[in-house]
Amino acid sequence: MAERKRVVILGAGFAGLRAAQTLAKQAMDITIVDRRNHHTFQPLLYQVALAVLNPSDIAQPIRAVFRHNSNVEVLMDEAIGFDTDRRRVDLRSGAQLTYDYLIVATGSTHSYFGQDEWSKLAPGLKTIEDAVEIRRRVLLAFELAEREMLEKGTHPELNFVIIGGGPTGVELAGAISDIAKLYMRRDFRHIDPSQAKVLILEGSPSILAAYPEDLRESAVRQLNDLGVQVLTGQHVTDVQPGYVILGTGPDARRIDTVVTLWAAGVQASPLGKLLKVEIDRRGCVLVDQFLNPKNHPEIFICGDLAHVEQDGRQVPGTAQPAMQMGVHAAKLILADINGEKRTPFHYFDKGDMATIGRKAAIAKVIWPFKAHMSGFPAWIVWLVIHISFLINFRSRFSVFRQWAYTYLFFKDGARLIVGSQNLPGWNEQQVEEKLDLNAPELTAKR
């Protein structure tokens, strides 16, 4: 028997975690590298952003997951370079890792189409930090409006603008509408939170482009029923504190906002580039049926970072394919070690679903039966699937109780504003205050 193989896994998202779990009980040494100390259950991140769940309900320390697997080590670090000839990963800390097999599953991040300064003004939703920041902004908008109402007898319109009509944009829009119309309905004395306007700006002709037309239309109807406006074919040309600009030239329109959120574009992690392998325009690595980039059977690309074609269309960058790729990469490594033949990856598509606030959703079900569902039934399916995931994931029931409690019965949940008490473009004095409050990154005032 040869000496133990060394497997390095970059990224502890769905793909990396499942790969590590599949290999954890095998006779090999596994190193997981992630910039964060926790795995995040991204499908419910928007519920942290909208104060229904706690960060720790949907995030788990990676070390804790593998505590009992002594052959798995976890490093909170970041890959910054590769020497694929020497099979070596260089980490930001200066450490270097050698590998027999490398699994790269570092996913994707927001793309501001080159306008990175927009990220300060329109945060996206990929991490716990993002979720906490979005929560802070959304809740704070109501507080500042109440304050201003008392002072001036009027307040800026509570316009929440979401740029991008994909699943995340739709989830955020529905959830903000819920917060304003249901959870907060008796919280304020001077403003009426239910007057909040939620607007989705989508550049393409339709939101949720990945879904069949009947479900897309149903989604728009359900959003409208919640009071969410959907503007399609609208190109955001500028994002400024307190407003966004649509279109250019004479037709340019200004839309005032209290909170602007970004759900428009994603780009792949830069590791594809660093690997010097073939990538597509979004930075995803082109891989073969064994999830390998060209000429690198020892390197597996999984999850959002992988560009996998199946039946003529690209496998979507969602949790399901990511987990399946992670497991499959692990199995191929085991096949090699056991001298078995590698089997090609095939994405088993059970379908997709997008939730639209409380009691509303669309679902394209493929397995165990084919169906297009929408409205309450789709939402129930979504709920059951995600609750079971979550219980499984956190292996405790209390999350579900917390969730049911908050989400179904409009209870308080985690509606805390933590951090700065200012919003971009709200008013000068507050912007100044913001600066001195938060300039030193490490002050306890954070």
Active site residues per annotation: 171
> What are φ and ψ of residue 81, in 5° steps?
-175, 165
Q: How far is the CB of 435 from a copy of itself (least distance, A)?
A: 7
Considering beta carbons, is residue 210 or 437 the nearer one to a copy of itself? 437
CB-based burial, 263-289: b 16+ in 10 Å, e otherwise: bbbbbbbebbebbebebeebbbbbbee
Q: How far is the CB of 219 from a copy of itself (least distance, A)?
A: 26
**Nearest CA-CA partner of 37 in 68, 3, 78:** 78
Say how many residues touch a copy of itself, by CB under 8 A. Answer: 82
Which listed residue (22, 55, 380, 391) binds a copy of itself by CB under 8 A?
55
Question: Strand 299-301 and strand 197-201: pairing?
Answer: unpaired
Q: Of residues 408-427, which lie at the interface with a copy of itself (CB under 8 A)?
A: 412-421, 424
The set of residues, in sequence order, having a beta carbon less than 8 Å from that of 333 and lying 6+ positions away, is 5, 7, 23, 28, 101, 300
Q: Of residues 164-223, which lie at the interface with a copy of itself (CB under 8 A)?
A: 186-190
Side chain identity, residue 314: Q
Considering beta carbons, is residue 145 or 223 the nearer one to a copy of itself? 145
Which listed residue (4, 120, 253, 350) binds a copy of itself by CB under 8 A?
120
Alpha-carbon distances of 163 from 150, 180, 225, 254, 390, rounded to whole Å = 31, 19, 20, 14, 28
Q: How far is the CB of 320 from a copy of itself (least distance, A)?
A: 25
153 makes contact with a copy of itself (CB under 8 A): no
Which listed residue (6, 35, 296, 359) binds a copy of itself by CB under 8 A?
35
Distance CA 313, CA 331 (A): 24
Q: How far is the CB of 134 from a copy of itself (least distance, A)?
A: 8
Are 257 and 161 contacting, i.e. CB atoms less than 8 angstroms apart?
Answer: yes
Q: How far is the CB of 301 from a copy of itself (least distance, A)?
A: 25
Q: How many residues does the chain have?
A: 446
4 makes contact with a copy of itself (CB under 8 A): no
229 makes contact with a copy of itself (CB under 8 A): no
Stretch that binds a copy of itself, among 16-24, 113-121, 204-212, 347-355 (CB under 8 A): 113-121
Considering beta carbons, is residue 5 or 328 the nearer one to a copy of itself? 5
Distance CA 101, CA 31 (A): 11
128 makes contact with a copy of itself (CB under 8 A): yes
Distance CA 399, CA 55 (A): 11
438 makes contact with a copy of itself (CB under 8 A): yes
